[in-house]
Chains A and B, each alone.
Chain A
């Protein structure tokens, strides 16, 4: 195979021109789907992901009912046309695992005790995929939950950091994810400063591990500001109160 190409250019910038700690462009929109109780659409780099929430609703099959809380169901699914080579639409082992970790990342934020004997369904559909689709999916899914009016302790927001050319960088795109030497998706509840998803692969010294982890948290908080703006825009339109005004009323 050809020699590994450099992912960081001579001028210290990355192949797409970003600085080491710079996020890709992100846009968020809440409430685009008509039928769903809540929905959110995220574009993050080349990622285009729709998240929808139905519920609280009756649980089928009934034996899955939890007597003291809601059952949260999640499905992360990639459309066959979302990647370079057509993906078989049947759920892969990767998608099953990601559905599980997304569920475990969202449940801590949802006050499931407020909805005993019900199901809350979260569907995450990746229409076009780029690096970091699971954290983008979580970011959209928590917005969709909020849009559905589900009681929550905090939003959940994710960001992935990693190692490229032996350097810690923020928010890997798909080239950096494939050709780099490490990917670390992290999701947090930003106001509570708690981590709800942590996955790591690659080669990290103890020092780089901490640097990447702390960078992912800091970058997640940046994305949180956009998340919050998208949510207030949905409910207040252009007359959305400023952050300062909201702090005051809270």
Chain B
């Protein structure tokens, strides 16, 4: 979300000074994320859902599965679409209207993590090649903004998908018919997004709103179950040194492992 409020210079100086001693204003260490809570199955009308809190950041993801036609270049694959909206209730700085550049970037970065990790097996979402496939929409409502929407959104999307059930469709007499049976959305991998912000010269994990106002650079790195990197995005109109890119990769792999365990526990 846009940095549209000001952090006093003295507060920022305090942050930088504390970080030089390895501390943060909210008493976290630089590589410590805020407490995460994950609750799934909160929306009965959705195929899957999750509410995730990351500190005071709160997001709800809902999965809706329908059937549709595949893209012509991937006739044997289902569709997966991630979309995010920053609700006007989420912050005094949010406004209603068409999705902002920030919301589009947010949804696309989260989508990239889910897609590139091959979390959802799109081939298993094919019903009739070239004609009918499952279409999986994951819509995310940002309810309260306190920084790091990228990671909160990613955990909500992954948790909602891991617990989603969809109606079974079969082909009978050349017709696609719905069965009275629910099957899980075919998920396999568990991508975990870890976002770091640079304040002064230090990279900190999971910035809150205040830290986002003081950061000059943000980098999100998504890793998969093997500790491989499957997506990344640098943000903000600033630079990053090559050494910091590698530092961020290592931190993200390490922190991602802990968070993955928590997501798996909450969605088993």
Contact surface of A with B, Cβ cutoff 8 Å: 1, 72, 85, 93-94, 96-97, 99-101, 103-104, 107-108, 182, 184, 189, 192-206, 209-210, 213-214, 217
Contact = CB atoms under 8 A, between A and B. Distances in A.
Contacts of A1: 74-76
Nearest to A205: B228
Given A201-B112, A203-B116, A213 B231 contact: no
B215 interface: no
B4 interface: no
Interface residues of B, number: 39
A101, A199, A201, A213 interface centre (most CB from chain B within 10 Å): A201
Interface in B35-59: none
A183 B226 CA distance: 19
B241 A194 contact: yes
A66 to B, nearest CB: 12
Contact of B246 (A85, A103, A210): A210
Contact of A206 (B107, B233, B249): B249
A72 B237 CA distance: 10
B233 A200 contact: yes
Contacts of A93: 104, 107-108
Contacts of B230: 200-204
Contacts of B172: none
A203 B54 CA distance: 27
Contacts of A94: 108
A221 to B, nearest CB: 12
B9 to A, nearest CB: 14
B233 A198 contact: yes
Contact of A97 (B108, B219, B236, B242): B108
Interface string B118-141: 100000000000000000000000
Closest 3 pairs (CB-CB, A-B): A200-B232, A107-B237, A194-B239
A206 B246 CA distance: 9
